[in-house]
Amino acid sequence: MRRPTLLTKRAACAYIHDLMMVGIGFVAAMYLRVGSLLFGPYLDATLASLPLILAIGAVTLPTLRLYRGIWRYASINDLIQLTKAVTAVIVVFLLVLFLVNRLDPIPRSVPVIQWFITLVLMGGTRFAYRLRKDRRLALSLAATGEKRTPIVLVGTSDAMDLFLRSLAKTPSCPYRAVGIIAVKPAHVGRTLQGVPVIASLDGLEEAIEKLQRSGDRPHRIVVAQDDAKIHGPTMRRLVETCGRLGLPISRMSRPTEFREMARSGHIELQPIAIEDLLGRPQMALDLTAIRELVAGRRVLVTGAGGTIGSELSRQIAALAPDRLVLLDNSEFNLYAIDLEVQQTHPATPLSTVFCDVRDRQRISTVFAKHRPEFVFHAAALKHVPVVEANPCEGVLTNVVGTRNVADAAAATGTIAMVLISTDKAVRPTSVMGATKRIAEAYCQALDVRGERSGTRLMTVRFGNVLGSSGSVVPLFRQQLARGGPITITHPEMKRYFMTVREAVELVLQASAYGLTRPDDRGRVLILDMGEPVRIVDLARQMIRLAGLNPERDVTIRYTGLRPGEKLIEELFDPAEMPSPTEAAGVFCGSPAVFDGTTITRMIDDLEAAARAGDAEQVTMIHRRAVPDYAAAATETWLPPAKLAHEMDHEMDRRAAR
């Protein structure tokens, strides 16, 4: 494509300018070295060498990509290119001059002096042009009397530097940075792009008060997008502080978007997401092991349209499997994930299978046809109250379905199957938790027995996934959209949370680790979920993020624990003796291993009772198979009336205190 005429003219002007600077640099270097002798004995040598260096510069400079950049945005990268260009011109000049006259007429120090002078002349002009443009922009804004909204920035990362540059270059930007809050106290007192670092996070409130007294109170707090230290607890504390100060809080857009925003003249800020409040620093992933786990292998994902299954499908598709088989019993979910994977990874061979894991014959046929080498079993019924009301369906999907998939995997020589389990399987108080614990026990037994067949059956256990179907976050968002109230079962309820992307990354990491540890057969891999979060605290944070005040603008209503729910979930039973592994973010537990014959007989009895619709018999078998379930099944249920009475008592006690 032919370049625009304007760009060609500007590039030609820059080229002529640089060529002149090369010549001036040579003459100036000679003068600085020999002084007035330049016009005496060194004049002939100078006049003879000047055309040579100009000719070398004329040929060399265009080949070094100096004329693709824009002087208005001259940067360190441009300075590096200039350094390379000046060095190349002088080196070639010295080589040619050496061949011509052995450098006899030119003092040996002249090329060194020339290098510095030419670099200053060429680079200084570019940066002077940029400073002039920036100054003109500032004067233009001052002349028009345009007022920008004052904001305070949090963080001192690379993204913050780019953001400040974008603010300076965008005339129509509505924001003006009046100060920076540093994560590291050592940064206080410094400046970034001329903006002072006025306090650390602990001094945020005092800093805002000072700005208010000086008449420059910010209207918003903006957090750096890429600052790894601003996450989870730090972000929650920041949101609470901003709530007390009555300041809205936002995140910067991603650094990759800044240049486009500056070009369009519109700088956008992003709302703080709930993932920012609960997120943690990125775990160190063994990307090589994860890639080797999947690359070049046939992989099957059950429940591929669900929250975990769909993210597994996305990440696996990016790892170049030989074939990815997506299996689900929801037509729409299967269609949606199939379409997405085809669009994002068109080179990945893909098969979609509409199938219910309860159907043993159909599962066997699918495995015989596709012969997967690796299976991720994410298909399950996960919503505690729904499974509690439909225990037979929970058994058929979570227990019988898992057995069908595990048996088919072992029968077809699958290298490994990974069962996606849940923290609700630990000392379960719900049908859902009991069914998942029995599914774990079956896979454990089959894994131990698999020493003869070679198939590994690994279990990966973790807690709640943010934003998954049926989780509290989408429910709270709907309730906030209606203006409240936010409904919570109990003020002391706690849950583990993890983003779906992080959960799946660690599932893959745990699977890669477990596959290389044949001595760990029968053990359960448990993801490090961090600290549990109180649901009421999560609700209050979401209310604040919506720009509202808990209790005043949006009420929180306690409804009482539902059947099967427990106040605090556990990732492992103390008797499981969990231990850290070499894989970051992964623990290994040792639950009791059932005898294969015993667990098979129990599942046979469960399946018969479930297909007969005998819920009472299902419950009896659960209590036999999972003793902890029988002990805790009714301990945590608290009727709403009793809860309301206890809450009134607690409110009175706090008021008195």
> Based on the domain organization, do 450 and 335 belong to the same domain?
yes
Whether residue 591 contacts residue 390, with contact meaning beta carbons closer than 8 Å, is answered with no
> Based on the domain organization, do 379 and 434 belong to the same domain?
yes
Q: Cβ neighbours of residue 349 under 8 Å, at least 6 residues apart? A: 321, 322, 323, 324
SS3 521: coil
> Based on the domain organization, do 529 and 433 belong to the same domain?
yes
Q: Which helix (H) or strand (E) holds 557?
A: strand 556-558
Structure tokens at 14: 């820059």
Q: Is residue 655 part of a domain?
A: no
Q: Is residue 277 part of a domain?
A: no
Structure tokens at 550: 């808990």
Q: What is the pLDDT of residues 306-341, one digit of tens each?
A: 999 999 999 999 999 999 999 999 999 999 999 999
Q: What is the pLDDT of residues 13-29, one digit of tens each?
A: 777 877 888 888 888 88
| pLDDT attached to residue 352 | 96
When comparing pLDDT for 157 and 145, which is higher?
A: 157
Whether residue 106 contacts residue 97, with contact meaning beta carbons closer than 8 Å, is answered with yes
Q: Is residue 446 part of a domain?
A: yes
| pLDDT attached to residue 267 | 63
Q: Match 């399987």 to its residue by tokens.
A: 425
Domain span including residue 628: 287-641
CA 288 from centroid of its chain's CA atoms: 19
Residue 4 is classified by DSSP as P
What is the rounded radius of gyration, in angstroms, for the C-alpha atoms of the chain?
34
Whether residue 309 contacts residue 328, with contact meaning beta carbons closer than 8 Å, is answered with yes
Whether residue 551 contacts residue 243, with contact meaning beta carbons closer than 8 Å, is answered with no
What ranges make up the beta strands (E) of 226-382? 249-252, 269-271, 298-302, 323-328, 350-354, 374-377
What CATH number has the domain bearing residue 396? Answer: 3.40.50.720
Structure tokens at 317: 């598709």
| pLDDT attached to residue 41 | 79
Is 225's pLDDT higher than 70? no
Is 511's pLDDT higher than 80? yes
Mean pLDDT comparison of 240-249, 438-447, 619-628, highest-scoring range = 438-447
> Based on the domain organization, do 318 and 397 belong to the same domain?
yes
Among residues 334, 332, 328, which one has the least CA distance to residue 357?
Answer: 328
> Based on the domain organization, do 213 and 188 belong to the same domain?
yes
Distance separating alpha carbons of residues 24 and 43, to the nearest angstrom: 15
Whether residue 554 contacts residue 408, with contact meaning beta carbons closer than 8 Å, is answered with no
Mean pLDDT comparison of 35-49, 61-75, 202-216, 400-414, highest-scoring range = 400-414
Is 69's pLDDT higher than 80? no
Q: Is residue 78 part of a domain?
A: yes
The residue-averaged pLDDT of 345-350 equals: 94
The residue-averaged pLDDT of 167-196 equals: 76
φ, ψ at 108 (rounded to 5°)? -65, -25
When comparing pLDDT for 99 and 169, which is higher?
A: 99
Structure tokens at 645: 């009475």
When comparing pLDDT for 305 and 267, which is higher?
A: 305
Residue by residue, DSSP assigns 602-628 as HHHHHHHHHHTT-HHHHHHHHHHH-HH
> Based on the domain organization, do 313 and 425 belong to the same domain?
yes
Is 578's pLDDT higher than 60? yes
Whether residue 378 contacts residue 301, with contact meaning beta carbons closer than 8 Å, is answered with yes
In this structure, the dihedral spanned by the alpha carbons of residues 541, 542, 543 and 546, taken in order and rounded to 10 degrees, is 120
Q: What is the pLDDT of residues 528-576, one digit of tens each?
A: 888 888 888 888 888 877 777 787 888 889 988 888 888 888 888 877 7
Q: Considering only 53-62, 288-297, 382-391, 400-409, which range has the smallest mean pLDDT?
A: 53-62
Largest interatomic CA distance in the chain:
114
Other CB atoms closer than 10 Å to residue 605's CB: what's the count? 16
| pLDDT attached to residue 1 | 39
Q: Is residue 282 part of a domain?
A: no
Q: Which helix (H) or strand (E) holds 645?
A: helix 640-656
> Based on the domain organization, do 398 and 462 belong to the same domain?
yes
Q: What is the pLDDT of residues 404-463, one digit of tens each?
A: 999 999 999 999 999 999 999 888 989 999 999 999 999 999 988 875 568 899 999 988
Whether residue 489 contacts residue 560, with contact meaning beta carbons closer than 8 Å, is answered with yes
**Distance linking the first and last C-alpha atoms of the chain:** 77
Whether residue 357 contacts residue 306, with contact meaning beta carbons closer than 8 Å, is answered with no
> Based on the domain organization, do 320 and 214 belong to the same domain?
no
Is 170's pLDDT higher than 70? no
Q: What is the mean pLDDT of the chain?
A: 80
SS3 222: strand
The total domain count for the chain is: 3
Q: Which helix (H) or strand (E) holds 11?
A: helix 5-34
Position 8 confidence tier, pLDDT thresholds 50, 70, 90: low
SS3 content of the chain, % helix, strand, coil (to 5): 55, 15, 30
> Based on the domain organization, do 14 and 60 belong to the same domain?
yes
SS3 216: coil
Distance separating alpha carbons of residues 609 and 419, to the nearest angstrom: 24
Q: Of 109, 137, 165, which marks where a domain is finished?
A: 137
Q: Cβ neighbours of residue 625 under 8 Å, at least 6 residues apart? A: 434, 437, 438, 441, 599, 602, 606
Q: Is residue 648 part of a domain?
A: no
Whether residue 398 contacts residue 439, with contact meaning beta carbons closer than 8 Å, is answered with yes
| pLDDT attached to residue 370 | 95
> Based on the domain organization, do 463 and 595 belong to the same domain?
yes
Q: Is residue 634 part of a domain?
A: yes
φ, ψ at 327 (rounded to 5°)? -125, 130
pTM > 0.85: yes or no: no
Q: Of 216, 247, 272, which marks where a domain is finished?
A: 272
Q: What is the pLDDT of residues 360-411, one digit of tens each?
A: 999 999 999 999 999 999 999 998 889 999 999 999 999 999 999 999 999 9
Q: Is residue 388 part of a domain?
A: yes
> Based on the domain organization, do 42 and 161 belong to the same domain?
no
Q: Considering only 46-60, 219-233, 338-352, which range has the smallest mean pLDDT?
A: 219-233
Is the dihedral angle over the CA atoms 269, 469, 399, 361 positive or is it negative?
A: negative
The residue-averaged pLDDT of 348-354 equals: 95
Q: Match 């061949």 to its residue by tokens.
A: 99
Position 640 confidence tier, pLDDT thresholds 50, 70, 90: very low
Q: Of 100, 119, 137, which marks where a domain is finished?
A: 137
Q: What is the pLDDT of residues 100-121, one digit of tens each?
A: 777 777 787 888 888 888 888 8
> Based on the domain organization, do 151 and 130 belong to the same domain?
no
Is 257's pLDDT higher than 60? no
Mean pLDDT comparison of 124-128, 186-190, 285-289, 633-637, highest-scoring range = 285-289
